[in-house]
Amino acid sequence: MKTAICKVKGISPLSFSKYISVPKLPKESASDYEARCWRERIHYDEKENVFIPGAMFKNCISAAAKYLSMQIPGKGKSTFTKNIEAGIMCYEPVYIGIKKNDVEGETLFVPSNGQRGGTTRVEKQFPKIREWEGTVSFLIIDSIITKDIFEKHLTEAGSLIGIGRFRPRNNGYYGRFIVESIEWS
């Protein structure tokens, strides 16, 4: 078992689209509700420190493994995909050094049902974090995942897959990152 402590830095803005579970006030319009509650789309703790859930990085590297489909040497057509999906964990939040109330908003005209190509549209406000960085801790429990393989997948995940709303994997360009360093233990 290995631990990789990775310093990552955003090379494009970061945005979240977490489900809002705040109830509407009596007689509150949809636009007033949106103006009041849009910051609830941000992931933050009880002290209002913004973080990226570790699962976002886990899903990012798993998607990169599927995308790359790198074959395991000496294992025929087997790829690293299943090993990375099952053999890497990232469960700690990644704090990015910003408070919830310091995040700017971005108003967009989006499909009302949340599905691409929807016929009716509404204005929604999403958080937009222009500059971000943090330290991600990965636990690598599958011994077939070498340091080089992990680094290749994480680097490609940052440039090709991304995290958050409007990431490259979903035809966007937010949530891209570079890996500044990896410390192994």
Domain locations in the chain? 2-184
> What does pTM read for this prediction?
0.92
| Higher-pLDDT residue of 67, 115 | 67
| pLDDT band for position 118 (cuts 50, 70, 90) | confident
Nearest to 104 by CA among 86, 131, 79: 131
Specify the pLDDT at position 135: 98
Nearest to 138 by CA among 129, 130, 123, 149: 149
Element at 43 (helix H, strand E) = none
Where helices occur in the chain by DSSP H, the ranges are 30-37, 54-68, 81-87, 147-156
Q: Is the pLDDT of residue 11 over 90?
A: yes
The Cα–Cα gap between 11 and 121 comes to 30
| pLDDT band for position 45 (cuts 50, 70, 90) | very high
Give percent of the chain with pLDDT exceeding 90. Answer: 89
Specify the pLDDT at position 161: 98
